[in-house]
Amino acid sequence: MSKERASLFGLGVDTVGMEEAVCRAMELVGGKGGYVVTLNPEMCMRALDDEKFAGTVRGAALVVPDGIGTVWALGRLGFKDVPKVPGIELAEAVAARCAANGTGVYLLGAKPGVAERAAAYLVLKYKGLKVIGVKDGYYAKGDERRTAQEVANSGAGVVFVAMGAGRQESFMELACSLRDGIAMIGIGGSFDVFAGDVRRAPDMVRKLGMEWLYRGLSQPSRLKRLARLPAFALTVLMRPDLARNGRNR
């Protein structure tokens, strides 16, 4: 691992700050292309038992620690002072860069109507932003490749994908295999926040590193996902070799 690359649950993590993450994402546009994974504890635990998912994460051009849980784990494993790069903030920073340089964006994911409202928010906030297309994530499973081809051929330089961990990474891997020069960024539930359907945690809660708890309490549907956090923490504390290297297969 290089000094800018850490290992967490057998996954490479880029220990870069927000500005460097934005630069690396934008370098993919018009170049070799690739996808960006915003890694959280739930995804780390999934990677232990799902080799296909782990392989997809390893194939990303950039993997950043999405929140305090990932950063805490990296610190416990000896990777100190790693900055967190929340997916929602990365998306806004990339949108601002796209508005400034004329790169078109595409929004894919969430329930019907949400991507449109998320796009309206971004266009209003970042003057000059060009939204090439929007599509919800509720298409038939058999339409995955057709949708990937549609997005890849849209002409967008950046695609924000908000379909939840696992599905969005698989989609990005597929779409990037169909076209060079496109940057795809997985950002989970960010469209719901952009659209105004979900409130993000207040600044003070975020500074305290408790955004994950706020989201769980304000969105009961997320409570099941929070159940994996104790196992994540215990793995880091009690089995550091597994937490660093993942399972040997």
Q: What is the DSSP string of 69-92?
A: HHHHHHHHTT-TTPPP--HHHHHH
Tokens of 184: 């795809």
Answer for the pair 170, 56: CB distance below 8 angstroms, yes or no: yes
Q: How far apart are the first and last CA of the chain?
A: 19
Token look-up 């927000």 returns: 18
- Determine the pLDDT at residue 222: 67
pTM metric for this prediction: 0.93
Tokens of 164: 């939840």
> If you average pLDDT over residues 226-235, what whole number do you get?
88
- Determine the pLDDT at residue 67: 87
Tens-digit pLDDT profile for residues 185-212: 999 999 999 999 988 778 887 777 777 6
Look over the chain and give the mean of its residue pLDDT values, rounded to a whole number: 93
CB atoms within 10 A of CB 216: 18
Say yes or no to pLDDT of 1 above 50.
Answer: no
Of 133 and 220, the one with more pLDDT: 133
Bridge partners for 107 per DSSP: 134, 160
The closest of 224, 200, 182 to 67, measured between CA atoms, is 200
Answer for the pair 91, 187: CB distance below 8 angstroms, yes or no: yes
Tens-digit pLDDT profile for residues 2-39: 457 999 999 999 999 999 999 999 999 999 999 999 99
- Determine the pLDDT at residue 9: 97
Three-state DSSP at 68 gives helix
| Helical spans, DSSP H, in 59-208 | 68-76, 87-101, 114-125, 144-152, 167-178, 190-194, 203-207
Say yes or no to pLDDT of 148 above 60.
Answer: yes
Say yes or no to pLDDT of 123 above 90.
Answer: yes
Tell the burial category of 239 from Cβ atoms under 10 Å away from its Cβ (0-12, 13-18, 19+).
exposed
Of 54 and 220, the one with more pLDDT: 54
Say yes or no to pLDDT of 243 above 60.
Answer: yes
